[in-house]
Each structure stands twice: as structure tokens, then as C-alpha cells.
Chain A
């Protein structure tokens, strides 16, 4: 009888521990997005710089770097594009498989034509993505990307926006980020790691 009571309590303890561990796991997952847990997954219909339709399937097939910006951006975007260009150069053949994406958060001004020349300066392996504002919204939301129009003097405006570069593996799944102005060697290390894993 006493033994059975002990056994019952042990089972209660096992269940309680399992519950705690399970809750912990869920909470941990809700902290920063873990690799490959569905972060960044969205269905969308947009176009590339040639006006060709693109959807979520474009991220599958190559490891890639994803950035959200706009061409009227004075500093963060040209700097990131210049650094991206330097990454492609530094990786050389080692990075032959790598692709990049520049999604505009200002589709009203960034037509495919405008984007095309802009991104082609970086590499022939970067694709500009623009199109319907609501679809851009959907894609940005999936990546937790913040962007907001800020009015300036005159009829002009600028955009506040998330400046990180997201790293995607060959399946299009999130693997990490490169922060704005992250040191070149660190960035290259992350890209090499991504290429090795993909």
C-alpha cells in the first residue's frame, strides 16, 4: 500500500516535470526566433526588377541574404549594399551558390525599373523585389521587419526600417542575421557557416 502511494507520487512528479520542461521549451521558442521554426514564412505575390512574378518559392534552392530597404535611403541601404557587394567579392567562388534579395519597403517609388539599376550595382546575384504594398507588408511582417513612413519638409518622406540582413538556408529557412555595420570578418564567418550548412 505504502509502495503504491510512493509510486503514484513519483508519477505525479514525472508529469509535473514534463509539464515544466514543455512550458520551458515553448517559452524558449517564443524568445528570439530559433533556426527553422517557421520564422519568415509567408505567402506573397510580388515582382522582381524585371517585372517577373515572385512568391515564397523563390527563397528555396540557394542559401541567401535578405534585406528590406528603399532606394531613397541615404545611408543604411547604400552602406549595406556596398558591404554586400564586398561579401560577394571576398567569398569569390566559395560563395557562388549565395543569392541576395532586396525587398523595398517603399514600393510607391521603387518600381521594378528603379530597383533594377540599383541592385545590379551590387551583384548579378541580387534580386530586387517590389509590388503591391499589402503583399510587401505580409512579407515584412513574417520577418518581424518594422517600417514606417516619416514625412519631411516639402512633400517628401523617408522611411524608418529594420536594418538587419537575414540569412536563409537552401530551404528558405531562417538561420541568423547580420547586424547593420557588423564587422566584415564576422559577417563573412556567418556567410561561410551558412554556405557550409546549406
Chain B
């Protein structure tokens, strides 16, 4: 029974991590994910944004349909936009399209993964893991280093 459980666990791990990382880039079929990071949270802040760059080297469009993480009660895909001096934020219920041959950047001030109902404060220097699911390429775990509260990009030591 225990052996069966262990085998099931090993199989599950294999299923969710068919990707491999190389030079800080996570590969998942034709999808390359690079420059992942998140930001340290302020005291009591129950939300955080996750940022990364997604390149689709394939000939077919794909779509980031969901993101999940153990650190948050709910994880969504959002778009932020400034309209004049007003910040507006919208959930992308249908996910985010990654057109064939193109690169989509999730960065401060635009698209981001939104961690809501944080179970812990995010501390600079630590990491969190987010599981991304693409419509075609499948599912992959990405490790996000936690940068300073107003960081615009991962620090050099993380972005190999």
C-alpha cells in the first residue's frame, strides 16, 4: 500500500514536471518561461503579483489558462492598466493568449499572476512555486525568487 502510494506520488511528480530548466529558462514543449520573480509583501498585505516572460517558439498559439500555488488561497491571471492616473485591474477569466512565435511579458504595470489570500508573508530572498497550466503545452512548476517590494525585474543573481 505504502509502495503504491509512493509510486503514485512519483508518477504525479512526473506528470506535473515534464519540463526542465536550463540557464534559468523553464522549457515546456515549445513554451519557454524566463525571468520569473515576485515581490516581498508589506505587513498584512494579503496579495502579491507574480511576473515572468513566456515565449512560444511553436507554430500554434497557446494559452496560459491557470496558475495555482500553495502559498495563496486563490491564484488568478490579471491585467493592470493605468487610465490617466487611475489604476484599473481586471481578471482575465479566459486566461492569456501566447501567440505562435511571440513573447508575452508578465511585468509590473501590466499582466501578472495574482496571488490572493496569501497564507504567508513573502520575504525577500526566499522563493515561492507557482504551477502554470497551458491549454496545449500542459503544466509546469516555476520557482519565483522573491525580490524587493518595488522590484521591476529579478536581480542579476537570479536571472542567470
Contacts and interface: CB of A to CB of B under 8 A. Distances in A.
A73 interface: yes
A85 B87 CA distance: 21
A81 B116 contact: no
B2 interface: no
Nearest to A179: B85
Contacts of B86: 146, 160-163
Interface string B112-134: 10111100000000000000000
A75 B42 contact: no
A72 B47 contact: yes
B152 to A, nearest CB: 9
Interface in A77-110: 78-79, 81-83, 86
Contacts of B90: 150
Contacts, number: 89
Contact of A120 (B43, B85, B150): B43
B138 interface: no
B44 interface: yes
A71 B45 contact: yes
A78 B46 contact: no
B76 interface: yes
B44 A158 contact: no
B119 to A, nearest CB: 15
Interface string B74-90: 10101010100111111
B89 A74 contact: yes
A67 to B, nearest CB: 12
A82 B148 contact: yes
A74 B89 CA distance: 10
A173 B104 CA distance: 44
B48 interface: yes
Nearest to A161: B87
Interface in B34-57: 39, 41-49
B42 A81 contact: yes
Interface in A110-135: 114-115, 117-118, 120-121
Interface of A: 71-76, 78-79, 81-83, 86, 114-115, 117-118, 120-121, 146, 150, 152-154, 156, 158, 160-164, 177, 179-181
20 contacts: A71-B45, A72-B45, A75-B109, A78-B39, A81-B149, A82-B148, A82-B150, A118-B42, A121-B42, A150-B88, A152-B76, A152-B91, A152-B116, A154-B74, A160-B89, A161-B86, A163-B82, A163-B85, A163-B87, A180-B82
